[in-house]
């Protein structure tokens, strides 16, 4: 059974009144351990294909079977779970976290996959890309090629079913790019399925198989190699491939399985998500704190200034501090209510991004805490006055 299988995969985008056929009925099948390059001119549908294969988006029509499971119609949450468990991403801009070492960058996805022995596994992954000796360097102390190798180690550390790389050599010189391609080849020999997207024919040809796209369709699909192209549909990759300088991959590395979790992620994406999650949590926390403070102030003031029994014969206002405390409690309740609603709304937005973007669930706990506390603030802000009214009615002395 192929690892990846698509049938009539179609993606339409609406652009004003017209419909763009970004993918037009793509049938493709990729075996485990294959090393495939998807290439084609700008606008041919490569990125759309990558998004669908990476479970970042759903097709408009057609089916996508990943490891035998139809993932075409899954919910956002289910797609996120598939991305976490089965797909490793490598980006053109590496997307490493700058203030942490290479080793820590590779540890991160395991943390989100709740794995044990993360350090040993991260070191093994770095060994597999020939970078163990740089494990304790920060990304800004590494060359571009070394950074991309760290990103590859991060993508494979949880043994993904497939590694998707979007223009992985786009920021590298040709020699370093060839080294990165060498690493992909070595990994595919070890059983990792690799799909790269590149607009450069010379890079594409260093894969084992090259798929050429045009106008959302596959127009050529053939083994890569120096053989000259034939006819119009042949791949535009006729010049000889540069000799790829393969970086030695640790001979002792265990072959990669096709089981669980990967995920490299964009530091920018992660930061955006975390910002949203923290904003939601902060609003909810302030809401709860305000409500608690309002209640404490009210209790203290009422103990210090017991409200005299209301005498209709001699109507009088309660003492000023009691009035101020009452107004303060009201303001606290209203602000708590508004902040609680904002906290929940921001947390819901952060959760949606969390589910739709590549990478592990950075900020998931903040989002959950924001939702719970925001909900609590709303319930308290509405419930406290209601409880007060009900208590007043129930406890009112007859007559």
CB-nearer residue toward ligand ADP: 20 or 387:
20
Residue 48, interface with ligand ADP (CB under 6 A)? yes
Residue 13, interface with ligand ADP (CB under 6 A)? yes
* Strand-pair category, 193-197 with 209-214: unpaired
Q: Which of 4, 5, 37, 46 binds ligand ADP (CB under 6 A)?
A: 46
Cβ atoms of residues 178 and 243 within 8 Å: yes
Residue 15, interface with ligand ADP (CB under 6 A)? yes
Residue 170, interface with ligand ADP (CB under 6 A)? no
Among 44-52, 97-105, 172-180, 353-361, the segment contacting ligand ADP (CB under 6 A): 44-52
C-alpha–C-alpha distance, residues 256 and 33, integer Å: 10
C-alpha–C-alpha distance, residues 47 and 384, integer Å: 52
Number of residues that bind ligand ADP (CB under 6 A): 12
Q: Which of 2, 25, 43, 225 binds ligand ADP (CB under 6 A)?
A: 43
Residue 111, interface with ligand ADP (CB under 6 A)? no
CB-nearer residue toward ligand ADP: 15 or 120:
15
C-alpha–C-alpha distance, residues 214 and 72, integer Å: 23
C-alpha–C-alpha distance, residues 75 and 194, integer Å: 25
The nearest distance, CB 170 to ligand ADP, in angstroms, is: 12
CB-nearer residue toward ligand ADP: 22 or 123:
22
CB-nearer residue toward ligand ADP: 203 or 344:
203
Beta bridge partners of residue 40, listed in sequence order: 213
List of residues 6+ apart from 325 with CB closer than 8 A: 297, 298, 301, 302
Contact string (CB under 6 A) for ligand ADP, positions 122-161, x = contact: ----------------------------------------
**Of residues 341, 348, 304, the one with CA closest to residue 324:** 304
Q: Angle CA(182)–CA(186)–CA(189) in degrees, nearest 5?
A: 140
The nearest distance, CB 60 to ligand ADP, in angstroms, is: 12
Residue 47, interface with ligand ADP (CB under 6 A)? yes
Cβ atoms of residues 143 and 252 within 8 Å: no
The nearest distance, CB 87 to ligand ADP, in angstroms, is: 18
Residue 321, interface with ligand ADP (CB under 6 A)? no
Contact string (CB under 6 A) for ligand ADP, positions 18-37, x = contact: --x-x---------------
CB-nearer residue toward ligand ADP: 20 or 304:
20
Residue 391, interface with ligand ADP (CB under 6 A)? no
Q: Which two tokens stand for residue 228?
A: 């000259």
The nearest distance, CB 41 to ligand ADP, in angstroms, is: 7
Beta bridge partners of residue 7, listed in sequence order: 63
Q: Which residue has the tokens 């798929």?
A: 211
Residue 42, interface with ligand ADP (CB under 6 A)? yes
The nearest distance, CB 43 to ligand ADP, in angstroms, is: 4
Strand arrangement, sheet containing 61-66: 18-30, 4-15, 61-66, 69-70
Residue 40, interface with ligand ADP (CB under 6 A)? yes
CB-nearer residue toward ligand ADP: 81 or 221:
221
Report CA 208 to chain centroid distance, whole Å.
29
CA distances from 97 to 84, 270, 271, 358 (A): 18, 10, 10, 15
Among 12-20, 137-145, 183-191, 268-276, the segment contacting ligand ADP (CB under 6 A): 12-20
Q: What are 79-83's contacts with CB under 8 Å, separation 24+?
A: 79/55, 79/355, 79/356, 80/354, 80/355, 80/356, 80/361, 82/55, 83/54, 83/55, 83/56, 83/263, 83/358, 83/359
- The number of helices, as runs of H, and strands, as runs of E, in the chain is 10, 10
Cβ atoms of residues 84 and 113 within 8 Å: yes
C-alpha–C-alpha distance, residues 197 and 92, integer Å: 10
Among 40-48, 125-133, 140-148, 370-378, the segment contacting ligand ADP (CB under 6 A): 40-48
Residue 39, interface with ligand ADP (CB under 6 A)? no
Cβ atoms of residues 366 and 275 within 8 Å: no
Q: Which of 30, 34, 36, 44 binds ligand ADP (CB under 6 A)?
A: 44
Binding site for ligand ADP (CB under 6 A): 13, 15, 20, 22, 40, 42-48
């Amino acid at each position: 059974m192929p690892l990846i299988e698509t049938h009539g995969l179609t993606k339409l985008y609406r652009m004003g009144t017209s419909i763009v056929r970004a993918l037009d009925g793509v049938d493709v099948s990729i075996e485990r351990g294959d090393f495939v390059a998807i290439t084609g001119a700008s606008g041919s549908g490569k990125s759309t294909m990558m998004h669908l294969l990476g479970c970042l988006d759903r097709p408009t029509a057609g089916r996508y079977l990943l490891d035998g499971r139809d993932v075409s119609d899954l919910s956002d949450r289910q797609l996120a779970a598939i991305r976490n468990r089965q797909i490793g991403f490598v980006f053109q801009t590496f997307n490493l976290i700058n203030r942490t070492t290479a080793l820590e960058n590779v540890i991160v996805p395991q943390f989100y996959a709740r794995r044990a022995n993360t350090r040993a596994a991260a070191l093994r992954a770095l060994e597999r890309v020939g970078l163990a000796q740089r494990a304790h360097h920060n990304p800004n102390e590494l060359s571009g090629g070394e950074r991309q190798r760290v990103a590859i180690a991060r993508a494979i550390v949880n043994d993904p079913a497939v590694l998707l790389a979007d223009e992985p050599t786009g920021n590298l010189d040709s020699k370093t790019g060839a080294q990165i391609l060498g690493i992909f080849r070595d990994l595919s020999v070890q059983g990792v399925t690799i799909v790269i997207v590149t607009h450069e024919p010379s890079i594409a040809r260093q894969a084992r198989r090259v798929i050429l796209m045009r106008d959302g369709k596959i127009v050529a699909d053939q083994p890569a190699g120096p053989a000259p192209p034939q006819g119009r549909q042949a791949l535009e990759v006729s010049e000889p491939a540069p000799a790829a300088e393969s970086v030695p991959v640790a001979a002792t590395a265990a072959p990669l399985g096709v089981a669980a979790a990967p995920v490299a992620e964009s530091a920018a994406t992660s930061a955006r998500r975390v910002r949203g999650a923290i904003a939601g949590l902060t609003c909810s926390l302030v809401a709860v704190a305000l409500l608690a403070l309002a209640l404490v102030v009210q209790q203290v003031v009422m103990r210090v200034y017991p409200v005299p029994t209301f005498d209709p014969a001699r109507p009088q206002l309660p003492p000023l501090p009691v009035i101020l405390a009452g107004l303060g409690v009201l303001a606290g309740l209203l602000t708590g209510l508004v902040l609680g609603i904002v906290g929940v709304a921001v947390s819901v937005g952060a959760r949606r991004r969390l589910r739709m973007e590549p990478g592990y669930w950075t900020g998931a706990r903040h989002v959950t805490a924001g939702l719970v506390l925001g909900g609590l603030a709303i319930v308290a802000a509405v419930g406290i006055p209601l409880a007060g009214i009900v208590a007043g009615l129930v406890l009112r002395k007859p007559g």
